[in-house]
Amino acid sequence: MIVKNGGEDLRACLESVRAIVDQMVIADTGSTDDTVAIAEEFGATVVPCAWNDHYAEARNVALAAMTTDWVLVLDADEELSPEAAAALPGLVAETPEEVAGYRLTIRNYANEVFASVVGSLGHRNTDTYERAKGARTYSEHTLCRLFRRRQEIYFSGRLHEAVEMQIVKAGWRCPVSELLILHYGTLAEKSSYEKKQHRYYRMLRMAVEETPELPHLWVQLAITERTTYDNLDEAIVCARRAVTLSPREFDAWSLLAGYLGEKKRHEEAVEALGHLPESGDWGITRAWAMGDHLHDLGRFKEARSMYVLAYERAKKSTQALPKEFLTTIESRIGYTEVRIGMRTVGFRKLVQARDATPMVLSNHERLMKAYVAVQDDRKAAEAAETALKYWSSEQLYTRAAALMLRIKEQGRASRLIEAGIQRFPGSESLRRLAAG
């Protein structure tokens, strides 16, 4: 492990492997909390390591102190699942010589319904692990975290460091195992995440300059440019560079499509999504996102076909998706059906989706838009009023009140305006309605 100020999570991490490892080595990069004390409590060897903005360098400091035949890599905010801990000794004992390592599945828990990691959608969390119980979803990816201790195997990469390149270069295999690592870091407070992203940005820039041929670094730089610095144009440049380097960099195609959509370049976005696979989570993402872009182009029949395909694929997913995810697709289908004249079935789907997951605001909004589209202002007003039972925003109060005024329901409009001003006293839009 490499750790800095990981004391909050470290004890649980080390406890998850205590019974199956012969040696624990921690490269400490300057902790000022109780990290070192906790590590020593578990009998770990703590190696001081100067931090030079280079993850592989620090990993290799820890690796150099290992004396065992196999190496397991964890971070402080991770745990090895109990099932994996029970299976690991048998796995390494039976490993054939041509296999030098295993890619372990890392399960990333999240509080968001629509969280995803590298093409894996946020699947409904039903895990009973104590720290995972509060998470709404999880997404997964694989990395080589278990490998033989050989001179030829070491970490490379300033950021997103890995050993896979060395294993493949030496002619060994590195298959995927069923062992599971539980990652809780994504449940951290948003402010902590943002601070971490600011630190990463400088390292990302350095890594890209050193190894500009690695597409995954351009993907990470695209994400950081967009989410941390709101630099959409630069994010598009980075995503395009990634797909130029590797046309099979599917997460880059998906990001590029999203960024182009923000620029209203929907035709280009649809073309980008055409590079995604038709199967698995990517197949769901491909159909659902294509539907969104076709919808924004006003091509409602084609959009409906894509949404239906996404819904069918989502229902067949090997890992259950959150109910909220399914209802948002059902709501999209319903809206496009209304727009192409299938009003009865369309409104039925829209109402079903809203009522099944009333805390999903977008489902309320689609129902309102559909009623407005067919010029049924009364039902649109009632739908807006219903949404206010679950959501409170200045825009929603303004919309509901304006719709009530449009249908001559002055009393209900006044009550909504008054309640909205109490909730949002600085609202100019509500005060204009009150004056007007």
| Structure confidence by residue, pLDDT tens digits, 53-108 | 999 999 999 999 999 999 999 999 999 999 999 999 999 999 999 999 999 999 99
Beta carbons within 10 angstroms of residue 268's beta carbon = 17
**Residue 113 pLDDT grade (very low, low, confident, very high; cuts 50, 70, 90):** confident
Spatial distance between the Cα atoms of 364 and 176, rounded to a whole number of angstroms: 42
Bigger pLDDT: 85 or 119?
A: 85
What would the mean pLDDT of 311-325 be, rounded to a whole number?
A: 94
CATH number, residue 15: 3.90.550.10
CB 71 within 8 A of CB 147: yes
Domain count, the chain: 4
Question: Hey, what are 17's tokens?
Answer: 């492997």
**Where does a domain end: 276, 292, 320?**
276
Q: How far apart are the first and last CA of the chain?
A: 65
Q: Name the one residue in this structure whose structure tokens are 């219903």.
A: 386
| pLDDT at residue 290 in the model | 98
Spatial distance between the Cα atoms of 60 and 319, rounded to a whole number of angstroms: 36
176 and 130 share a domain?
yes
7 and 125 share a domain?
yes
pLDDT digits 0-9 by tens, 206-232: 999 999 999 999 999 999 999 889 999
Which residue type is seen at 82?
A: P
84 and 205 share a domain?
no
309 and 428 share a domain?
no
109 and 162 share a domain?
yes
61 and 16 share a domain?
yes
